[in-house]
Homo-oligomer: A and B are copies of this chain.
Amino acid sequence: MSQLALLGGPKACSFDRVETWEPDYEREIALCSQIIRERAFSNTGHPIALEFEQRFRELVSGTEFVLPQNNGTSTLIAGYFAVGVGPGDEVICPTYTWICSFAPAMVLGAKPVFCDLDPETLCLDPADLERWITPRTRAICVPHLFGSVCDLDPIMEVARAHGIAVVEDCSHSHGARYDGKPIGSIGDVGCFSMQGASPSGKPVGAGEGGVFCTNNRHYYERVLAFGHFNRYNISTELTEPPLTELTTATWGMIKFRATNLSLAIGLVALDSLEYRNRRIKENYDALLGLIADVECLRPVKSYPKAENAGFYGNLRLIFHPEAAGGLSPERFAAAVAAEGASLGGRNYDGYHLTSPFSTGMAFYDDGRGVISPQEGYVPQGPGSLPKAEKVIPNILALPTMIDPPDGYIEGMATAIRKVAHHYRDLL
């Protein structure tokens, strides 16, 4: 009989809980109670909102305009709109990311075009960008996925050479840096999600929320006119003609305003961000040190200039079936789970191979829509992004670890090493 728990052996570890870190419930409740008593749910310019904005501006230091939003998806809509994406344009995005990195561009009438991954980092492959640029390309989306900072220097170089804007999707990686500068401050615009709440939500979680960042006043004013009607300072903030002609209702097309209840939760999250980011990094390093000799399971690499952080969705691992006799990553993860530990899965498949992008679909009646076959949409199809297609099925992930219980890291390592050692029993 095998020693593996999946095959009837004893478990390697057992934990009642996997995380002991707790949010500051009392401060969250106090701030929300204040907003409730003041009936200040929806006022812009409330002291809590202003404090949040100032604190977030410090997080993306070097960024002048910081605009809270009601969710990360709306923040990506804002980001694409800011840089001028509109009907008939194309936006390039890596195929492996959350759909809301690129699909918001479709609201504006633009079509997503998928590019390949660097299979060592799971980030956008800068070397694969030029292949997808056309005269209609107006923006490149750069998702710093699961805490991994993309290699911004070569990406910015390609973008600048072609006059294309860079939209950083920083939703998983609050606090991460590249070349010493905070992510979100390097591309033309930076977009952050604040969905969920600590410990398992976005690194700065506000329940629902997002933050749009830019140093470009024109982009900032475009987002104000598009989605921030009746913002407290809107009359003085719109300085560029023809926006100066508008009333405080601006264009009234879409509403991006964050609720003050959400900003209160986000403000409290900012207090603990540095601690959480440091602890997660320390714990990952400790665990990775203990499994450094496990050949079939390797962490994603990071670029020399990258300081990865945030790690929403957790640090990714790449499973190497060839180092485990052809074992599947699913079977490996199931065996680790049986040992009492836990590995996450890949979360997303490549979107170029996922419906509706793999087939096309009309969003509007009469076959209208940017990925409608009736309007000429042709899916990229299998084989178009070979590196992504090869690596995606092998992606696994570690759990979140801020303050794990005593022995948790060692238990995780023991479970993983045990399964790796006995992989032949699973074949």
Contacts and interface: CB of A to CB of B under 8 A. Distances in A.
Nearest to A33: B29
A200 B41 CA distance: 12
A44 B74 CA distance: 18
A257 B71 CA distance: 9
A363 B255 contact: no
Contact of A41 (B29, B208, B245): B208
Size band of the interface chain A makes with B? 35 or more
Contacts of A251: 99, 103, 106, 356, 361, 363
A87 B100 CA distance: 22
A197 B365 contact: no
Given A42-B195, A99-B229, A356 B207 contact: no
B99 A365 contact: no
A3 interface: no
Contacts of A108: 364
Interface in A215-257: 226, 229, 242, 245-247, 249, 251-255, 257
Contacts of A85: 364
A275 interface: no
Contacts of A206: 41
What DSSP secondary structure best describes chain A's contact surface?
A: loop
A107 interface: yes
A366 B88 CA distance: 12
B253 A106 contact: yes
A100 B201 contact: no
B359 A245 contact: yes
A185 interface: no
Contacts of A166: none
A64 interface: no
Contacts of A33: 29, 32
B261 A355 contact: no
A109 B88 CA distance: 12
Given A356-B245, A359-B245, A84 B364 contact: yes
A246 B356 contact: yes
A226 B103 CA distance: 10
Contact of A247 (B73, B86, B354): B354
Nearest to A354: B247
Interface string A363-392: 111101100000000000000000000000
B259 A86 contact: no
A123 interface: no
B107 A42 contact: no
Contact of A196 (B36, B42, B103): B42
B361 A242 contact: yes
Interface string A95-122: 0001110011011110000000000000
Nearest to A361: B242
B369 A86 contact: yes
A201 B39 contact: yes
Contact of A32 (B32, B74, B99, B364): B32
22 contacts: A29-B29, A29-B33, A32-B36, A32-B261, A36-B265, A41-B196, A41-B207, A70-B70, A73-B255, A77-B254, A86-B364, A86-B365, A86-B368, A86-B369, A87-B87, A100-B255, A208-B257, A242-B355, A242-B359, A242-B361, A245-B355, A245-B361
Given A84-B364, A85-B364, A249-B348, 12 more contacts: A32-B261, A41-B205, A70-B71, A73-B252, A86-B368, A100-B229, A207-B259, A207-B260, A242-B355, A242-B356, A251-B363, A259-B261
